[in-house]
Amino acid sequence: MPTAPALVGRFAEALMGRRACVLATEQIAPDFLEVEFRAEPPPGGWQPGHEVQVRATRTEGRRYTVHGVVDAQRITILTVLHGDAPGTRWLRALRPGTEITLLAGKHVAARLPGTRLIFLGDGSALGTFNAHTAVGHGAVTTTTVIEAPPGSVAALSDRCPGYRILPALDDEPGATTQAWLDDALRNGDLADVDGALLLGHAQSIQQQRRALITGTTLDRRAITTRPYWATGKAGL
């Protein structure tokens, strides 16, 4: 429901709305904001990886992912501040004490095939990858590659030492990840991988999936994908 009449938005809030209050915001890197909420739990409680929707404006909804569950009523989301758009403006305006409504249903956990996994995504996927890493999924090894705005690479690399953080090119989302992936496939670095999770920019995900299917023994069922945004499209 990226865009919907105000009445539909209010109806959705009445059905699935959880009252929430901002406890803290932290700019963990120049382009990344972590927000902690106290929030009424949905049925089954909050889980890492829980999808939530907010009304960024009266008519526009935007989706984010719970990346940390501190306790039954305290959760965090991790977001990329990518420009002047409704979701990003909504995030920038949050202050401790701001009261909002989060739309959330019962959590449906993603099933990740494989035990030697590769996670590929951009800044919008960082929180979700953190959630999957915390859950573990029985993975033996996980290679996580995140493409981020260049100004945030150093801070994210310090904060996420196990992840490979690559600088994004202006106006070419996915290009540095694709170059890294092509290199890794050429060098046989991914020969062991038996499952993949591709999140973030829709057009990049398609290219990455093609490269993995062509360059490894992975078939489509071993590759889980979820587009989070698409070039030229508002909300998803």
Ligand X SMILES: Cc1cc2nc3c(=O)[nH]c(=O)nc-3n(C[C@H](O)[C@H](O)[C@H](O)COP(=O)(O)OP(=O)(O)OC[C@H]3O[C@@H](n4cnc5c(N)ncnc54)[C@H](O)[C@@H]3O)c2cc1C
When the beta carbons of 97 and 232 are compared against ligand X, the nearer one is 232
When the beta carbons of 17 and 200 are compared against ligand X, the nearer one is 200
Query: For residue 205, which amino acid is it?
Result: I
- Residue count at the site for ligand X (CB under 6 A)? 29
Find the binding residues for ligand X in span 166-195 (CB under 6 A): none
Stretch that binds ligand X, among 68-76, 123-131, 158-166, 176-184 (CB under 6 A): 123-131
Of the candidates 184, 185, 166, the one whose C-alpha atom is nearest the C-alpha of residue 176 is 166
Options 10, 38, 74, 82; binder of ligand X; rule CB under 6 A: 82
Give the shortest CB-176-to-ligand X separation in angstroms: 14
Please state, in angstroms and rounded to a whole number, the distance separating the CA atoms of residues 124 and 227: 10
Residues 6+ apart with CB under 8 A from 65: 49, 50, 51, 52, 77, 78, 127, 128, 131
Give the shortest CB-113-to-ligand X separation in angstroms: 20
- How many residues are recorded in the chain? 236
Residue 83 within binding range of ligand X, rule CB under 6 A: yes
Residues 6+ apart with CB under 8 A from 213: 219, 220, 223
The half-sphere exposure of 153 on its side-chain side, counting CA atoms within 13 A, is: 13
Please state, in angstroms and rounded to a whole number, the distance separating the CA atoms of residues 43 and 45: 5
When the beta carbons of 85 and 213 are compared against ligand X, the nearer one is 85
Stretch that binds ligand X, among 22-30, 113-121, 122-130, 138-146 (CB under 6 A): 122-130
If phi over 0 gives left and psi between -120 and 50 gives alpha, with beta otherwise, what is residue 59?
A: alpha
Residue 133 within binding range of ligand X, rule CB under 6 A: no
Give the shortest CB-181-to-ligand X separation in angstroms: 19
Residue 236 within binding range of ligand X, rule CB under 6 A: yes
When the beta carbons of 21 and 230 are compared against ligand X, the nearer one is 230
Residue 86 within binding range of ligand X, rule CB under 6 A: yes
Compute CA distances 127 → 38, 88, 124, whole Å. Answer: 18, 16, 7
Per CB under 6 A, residues contacting ligand X are 51, 56, 62-65, 77-80, 82-83, 85-88, 123-124, 127-128, 228-236
